[in-house]
Structure 1
Amino acid sequence: MYNFIINSSSPKGRRAVQVLSKELDKRGLEYKFHFTSYAKHAQVLAGELADLGEKNIIGIGGDGTFHEIINGINNLSDVNVGFIPLGSGNDFATAAGLPKHNIKKALKNIINGNIIKIDYIQFENGPRCLNVAGTGLDIEVLNKTLAMRRLKGKPMYLWALIRVLKNFESYKLSVEFEGQKKSYECIMIAVANGTYIGGGMKVSPYSDLSDGKLNLVVIKMVERKKIKYLLPKFLSGKHIDMYFTEHYLVDRVKISSDIAYKVQLDGEIYSNLDFDCYVVEKGINMFSG
């Protein structure tokens, strides 16, 4: 049985139902659609399905939907999860090499039944993160994008990024990892399992979803007048080898501050979340091509 969690209120969701029904019926496969009707409903549905013993749970949507699904399933190691990426950013899908906005191809990968094991980020006090967790500039940009509806994906992120940088103030953070403790005035810190944020910004170009490590990327504050010239480096991933960036492979990271900064996990903003996380090696069974 294939269980699809989907938001039927979106045009893409309605089209996906039509395409998937036709393809699955043609193959004589058992399936069921589970429709979300409120915020975080995908998390609830995924948990209920897993608790009932369902083994194949597939999310249809974007990074936010996938984030909800992995946080809803208690027994992740007992379930096969699949992702059909139809979101505006699809950053995790890009890192994982999943077909984006191609329902038939994504379904074919799932039906073929090839399962790979990938890592995820576990926060000490609860949530999981599939792709990238961070604080700093990415929080400011995400807040700005909430007011923008005309643009989507990378253009929206760029629009917000340019506006945020005009008045951006550095974040003052302490970081503990691998027996070290360092203090920074920084533009942002990312703890990455995946590679991209913001619809294709290559924040952690050396990340590997299955290497059993997290990539800690610290982008230190530079003179304000230099920021706009360094922006193309950040967009392409070339910032990783620049003088203002520190990069480490770690098992665990703790980030703290005297200020209660917000944190983003897979593009979802959390308030009052302690940034204390570690890698769970090969903790997710994922349908792959």
Structure 2
Amino acid sequence: MTSEITLFVNPTAGRGRGAHAAQPAASALRAAGFRVRTVSGQDPGDALARARAAVAEGTGALVAVGGDGVAHLALQAVAGTDTPLGLVAVGTGNDFARALGLPVRDPAEAGRVIAEGLKGDGVREVDLGRAGDRWFGTVLASGFDSRVNDRGNRMRRPAGRFTYDLAMLAELAAFRPFPYRLTLDGGEVREIEATLVAVGNGASYGGGMRICPGADLGDGLFDITVVGDCSRRTLLRVFPTVYRGTHVRHPKVTVHRAARVEIAAEGITGYADGEPLGPLPLSVRCVPGAVRVVGR
């Protein structure tokens, strides 16, 4: 493996933490004997092109500095290649880093962990989800949660998890269950009324909401959490338990496991890693060992 490492930086992650985090992460990598170069971009398309060029040129690892958005972009560059992915998680959500057991909002420590992993036996393969030509590491959200995502993306204040909380409260005003058509592993089409359907490769989204608490990055399967046709009152009662993952005990919540999922519903946008994939219907599959990651 070459000793040159590429830092893939989102300078706007976490209200500017991405730009500030690059230096301590780079210092930790250089102290371990690696040569470090930094790539960014004028927009997501330009940034992805630069990341893919670094991978094609044989960089020793692509280290994404930012949150789940830049991690999602980095996955598009490294998935299906031999190039390891490291994460310096300093964004708002950082759910993929959490799923991998990596440091969050400690760039110097993340740099040290990545350096140790690259020098030792800290590189492993994990599964990814794939929808069309898009890879994702954490959760595909659809339904009430994706409507909240739509609203949250339009809000400028406040920052962080509170954005999601306030967007959820605002979206409750128009709350209603949605008619879904759900197909698992090519089986029968299930027609259901549901508040949301979440397809989890990882356990959490939205900055630690454990919507699919049993999801395992190495089992070749998704955990699919279906929240049924509950009332506003029930949703408000269940919502706080999502941070502990205990919502799955509620009778309105069911969990399925499958390697391929087809979801259809009218007027719903699918989000993965917090990024919009497009309107439903979507067909997604779990791809075992799709990416090599650096960590503990």
Question: Is the TM value for this pair above 0.5?
Answer: yes
1:1-289 matches, within 5 Å, as 1-8=4-11, 11-73=16-78, 76-112=80-116, 113=118, 114-123=122-131, 125-178=132-185, 179-257=187-265, 259-272=266-279, 274-289=281-296
Q: RMSD over aligned Cα, in angstroms?
A: 1.9
Q: Which secondary structure does the structure 2 equivalent of 1:160 belong to?
A: helix
- 1:78 counterpart SS class: coil
- Please give the alpha-carbon distance, in whole angstroms, between the structure 2 residues aligned to 1:85 and 1:43: 18
Could you state the TM-score of these two structures normalised by the residue count of structure 2? 0.90
d(CA) in 1 for partners of 2:100, 2:201: 10
Distance 1:273 1:82, change over 3 A: farther
Letter paired with 1:18: Q
Q: Could you list the runs of 5+ residues in structure 1 that have no partner in the other structure?
A: none
Deviations 1:58-82 (CA, angstroms, capped at 9, x unpaired): 1000001111111134x62311111
Distance 1:185 1:117, change over 3 A: same
2:177, 2:193 within 8 Å by CA — same for their partners in 1?
yes
Q: Please give the alpha-carbon distance, in whole angstroms, between the structure 2 residues aligned to 1:101 and 1:25.
A: 20
**Residue identity in the other structure for 1:5:** F
Contact 1:189 1:218 in 2 (8 A): yes
* SS of residue paired to 2:91: coil
* Cα drift, residue 111 of structure 1: 0.7
Distance 1:23 1:238, change over 3 A: closer
**Structure 2 CA distance, aligned partners of 1:162 and 1:42?**
34
Q: Post-superposition, which runs of at least 4 consecutive aligned residues in structure 1 deviate over 6 A?
A: none
Deviation at 1:260, TM superposition (A): 4.4
Shift in Å at residue 273 of structure 1? 5.7
Percent identity between the two aligned chains: 24
The one-letter amino acid of 2:80's match is L
CA 1:80–1:21 in structure 2 vs 1: closer, same or farther (change >3 Å)?
Answer: closer
C-alpha distance in structure 2 between counterparts of 1:234 and 1:182, whole Å: 25
Q: SS at the partner of 2:92?
A: coil
**Unmatched 5+ stretches in structure 2:** none
Aligned-pair CA distance for 1:271: 2.4
Larger mean Cα displacement after TM superposition, 269-278 or 19-28:
19-28
Give the 3 Å change call, closer, same or farther, for CA 166–237 of structure 1 in structure 2.
farther
Structure 2 CA distance for aligned equivalents of residues 234 and 14 of structure 1: 31
Instruction: Give the number of equivalent residue pairs.
Output: 286
